[in-house]
A and B are shown apart, each in its own frame.
Chain A
Amino acid sequence: MARWGMVIDLDRCTACQACVVACQVENNVPYVEESEFKRRRAISWMKIVSETEGSYPDLRTRFIPRPCMQCDNPPCTRVCPVHATYLNPEGIVAQVYARCIGCRFCVAGCPYTVKYFNWYAYHDRMPASLRRADNPDVSTRPKGVVEKCTFCHHRLLKAKDVAAAEDRSLRPGDYVPSCVESCPSQAMYFGDLSDPKSEVARLAESSRAFRLMEELGTKPKVIYLAERR
């Protein structure tokens, strides 16, 4: 069984936000109205976090693209009372929108704050012109449920279907999330961490590799490569 993981090379990331936009479009992530945005309710599965160290003139700012960390030991799935968020066998933390009761325990429990709540039926409130651009492969979310990055799980399903139709097994590169695909500076890698020959597995062993808040023991499957100084 594959264990899907992502590697993000911070040395290459230019913080251009292409991944943010690609994710928003690919996953039918709703655009909230301006008033809702000002109330801090914007939904953004992928987000660029800036982290500044030191003070002027000796300072460094690093940009960290932050999808869901797809933890192997997720604090969010543990607290879900109805199994609406769970770790699937291939290591993706899944969300079942149709089952979620909207208690937001997983939102409160996630140390990476990657979980977003639909305070209103944001998707239905978008103008029809925007809704026409919906990706038919991804279900839209009703009001009152939690959503987050799924590593573009629908792309995995599709890739498996194609592979099955062609009577072969999944090849590296068959399944890539939209953020990785769209990265112009090729800072993002995606693949099967359980396959030692894969690029992500090799990069994950790099001396530059680190994970966010490793000390919490969440075992994220998003691995960052620190900048070379």
Chain B
Amino acid sequence: MQRTNWRNEDDAVLLVPIFETGRRFYIVVTVLGLLVLWGVVSYAVQWHLGLGVTGMNYPVSWAFYIINFVFFIGISHAGTLISAILRLSQAEWRRPVTRIAEVITVLVLGIGGMNILIDLGRPDRLLNLFLYGRYQSPLLWDATSITAYLTASSVYLYIPMIPDIAILRDRVVGGWRKLLYQVLALGWVGTARQHRVLNVAIAMMAVLVVPVAVSVHTVVSFVFSMTVQPMWHSTIFGPYFVVGAIFSGTAMLLVIMAILRKAFHLKDYLQPIHFNYLGLIMLVMVLLWVYFTFAEYLTTYYGNEPDEMRVFSSKFSGKYAPVFWAMVLFNFVIPFPILALNRTRTITGTVIASISIIIGMWLERLVIIVPTLANPRLHQYAQGSYLPSIVEIGIMVGSCALFALFYVLFSKLFPIVSISEVREGRQETMRIIQDRARRYEPGLGRLPASE
């Protein structure tokens, strides 16, 4: 690949991973590719033999794939939602973070959706959803909401990227990449009119994406809460799932930021303050999550309905107690003190808390889904248990690896930190912050503008 001399310009470090391919890249891609292959082989086995190769049974008819579906869709809230909220609230520190977040959303949404297809007993009949689809099934609400979110967040990822793609187009000489960038840049040259249209489009998408994102995890929860099963049939599930989604999503964002910071030498872009601020958002989410969990479980316990209590005690002190208490440990006991104390809300601290939360939130999905199915109302004959099979583990590893692989490939093709937004920030941030302060701080209005 030929390219112009780009090393001397500002933000050259953001172009390095695109223009230079080290040995490390090939190693990472190979390892991830092999893990994806493991997942593909696992699915091929399942396609051939049927869902019998999983550990699912009667009455635990939903397990790993649905857990992963809910988990991945939850992670997807990191990106677009956080980026949109930060844009709308004009948080100036967002600039290097937004794209890292938005890419998570787009990739993980696809993988979450894929997991529900993997869960189908007859994937060959998928088209029946269009031929005979009926809207009273929450499954179709999911399909609609997720498709809308995937479309909106892809557009929302792409539009702010146009100026960056133009930068790449101008640096690359020839090759398939030149063609790719040329097409995707949509003839961007940076005129005032183009900037105006772009900013309007970004602002519109940022507004649009927020309700869609909230709807996604709400209807995911509806899959459970619309049934009459004990501890699923709960009015709190919509907001509870949305909170859990933002919670786990922020954690994933922080982990990926830390990895990129190290791998791509982005110390100047991803500063401790970014981790600090996102850590504070996560602290709020920890508390919200605990509050919702407490409300949900106390209501069940106090109501003391026999069918509900059977599920409750299997979580609290029965077969699923280890998973339940591990969830409490990973979602609250470990991350809360780390995030609450200024001294530990460092890069290392937030990353430890984030990893703990990602594990904890996966367990939370398990704690919601499996114990209810294992303790149905006619429990005398239908009590069940569940252990995943090697095929399910393979597909889960493959799903995670696929996400990582796509992320690596994306960062190979496009700058993972928005060059144009960072440059814009360099020129505008001081003015924006001063203007804002001038509008609310008495006496500041008389001070001369900067420059």
Contact = CB atoms under 8 A, between A and B. Distances in A.
Contact of B378 (A109, A113, A146): A113
Interface in B117-166: 119-123, 125-126, 128-129, 131-134, 136-140, 143
A145 B122 contact: yes
A143 B120 CA distance: 11
Interface stretch (A38-46, A87-95, A157-165, A173-181): A38-46
B261 interface: no
Given A49-B381, A79-B138, A82-B133, A119 B50 contact: yes
Contact of B137 (A102, A105, A107): A105
Given A40-B384, A42-B58, A82-B133, A112 B378 contact: yes
Contacts of B61: 104, 107-108, 117
Given A79-B139, A83-B134, A121-B50, A111 B119 contact: no
A221 interface: no
B121 A113 contact: no
B223 A116 contact: no
A96 to B, nearest CB: 9
Contact of B125 (A36, A101, A113, A121): A101
B376 A113 contact: yes
Contacts, number: 137
A213 B57 contact: no
A111 to B, nearest CB: 5
Given A81-B139, A101-B129, A49 B380 contact: yes
A79 to B, nearest CB: 5
Which A-B residue pairs are the 4 nearest by beta carbons? A102-B121, A144-B121, A119-B52, A120-B52
A118 interface: yes
B84 interface: no
Say what secondary structure dominates the interface of chain B: loop
B50 A144 contact: yes
Contacts of A39: 57
B126 A143 contact: no
B239 interface: no
A202 B179 CA distance: 79
B133 A81 contact: yes
A102 B226 contact: no
B269 interface: no
A111 B228 contact: yes
B270 interface: no
B137 A119 contact: no
Nearest to A52: B380
Given A81-B133, A113-B59, A105 B223 contact: yes
Contacts of A213: 377
A15 interface: no
Interface of B: 49-52, 54, 56-59, 61-62, 116, 119-123, 125-126, 128-129, 131-134, 136-140, 143, 223, 226-229, 373, 376-378, 380-382, 384
B235 to A, nearest CB: 17
Contact of B380 (A36, A50, A100, A117): A50
26 contacts: A40-B58, A49-B381, A66-B378, A78-B136, A78-B226, A81-B137, A81-B139, A82-B134, A83-B132, A101-B126, A103-B116, A103-B139, A104-B62, A105-B139, A111-B377, A112-B377, A113-B58, A117-B121, A119-B51, A120-B50, A120-B52, A143-B50, A143-B52, A144-B51, A213-B377, A216-B228
A102 B125 CA distance: 9
A48 B22 CA distance: 66
A78 B376 contact: no
A214 interface: no
Contacts of A49: 378, 380-381
Nearest to A43: B58
A80 B52 contact: no
Given A49-B378, A117-B51, A81 B129 contact: yes
Contact of A108 (B123, B132, B133, B229): B229
Contacts of B133: 81-82
B129 A82 contact: yes
B129 A120 contact: no
